[in-house]
Amino acid sequence: MKILKEFKDFITKGNLIDLAVAFIIAAAFGAVIKAFVDFLIMPFIAAIFGQPSFDGLTFTVNDAVIPYGSFLTALVTFLLVAAAVFFFIVKPYNMYRARKAKAEEGAPAAAPEPAEEILLLRQIRDQLTITNR
């Protein structure tokens, strides 16, 4: 039973849930970028090079067909996903962190905790104030 409790604790931790949500959003984001590449970028490439995608590009070596065009299409998709992640997630997050660090830098330092003697003297003062009323 202990192992089931440990497993339950592991599954319900916030970090695991956050990671699962991030994975699902990343998969959806990848699908959006793939559609962007397939339906917007590749038609421009087709207008320039005459083919709607690189998938048809191949070469043959000893009767073996090597479809290097599929690799080029995947590479374009990867570069666009990486650029989108950088410009829409990494860059804004870095700007947020820099702004936060600058704000913390300019903020006044927290006052140090008073010594125990000072706390005791304050308690005595408060008690004397109460009894003198």
The reported pLDDT for the residue numbered 31 is: 85
The reported pLDDT for the residue numbered 109 is: 65
Residues in the chain: 133
Which domains occur in the chain, in start order?
2-131 (1.10.1200.120)
122 is written with which tokens? 């304050």
Mean pLDDT for the chain overall = 82
Q: How far apart are CA 76 and CA 70, in angstroms?
A: 10
Which pLDDT tens digit goes with each residue over 7-61?
Answer: 777 777 767 777 777 888 888 888 887 888 778 887 887 788 777 677 788 989 9
Q: Output the CA–CA distances (angstroms, integers) from residue 3 to 9, 12, 14, 84, in the order listed.
A: 10, 14, 19, 41
Higher pLDDT, 66 or 9: 66
Tally the C-alpha atoms within 13 A of residue 46's C-alpha that lie toward its C-beta.
Answer: 12
Backbone angles phi, psi at 66, to 5 degrees: -110, 110
Mean pLDDT of 54-70: 87
pTM: 0.54
Helices (runs of H) and strands (runs of E) counted in the chain: 6, 2
pLDDT level of residue 116 (50, 70, 90 thresholds): confident
Contacts with 42 (C-beta within 8 Å, 6 or more apart), sequence order:
52, 53, 73, 76
- Number of other residues whose CB lies within 10 A of the CB of residue 24: 10
Higher pLDDT, 75 or 15: 75
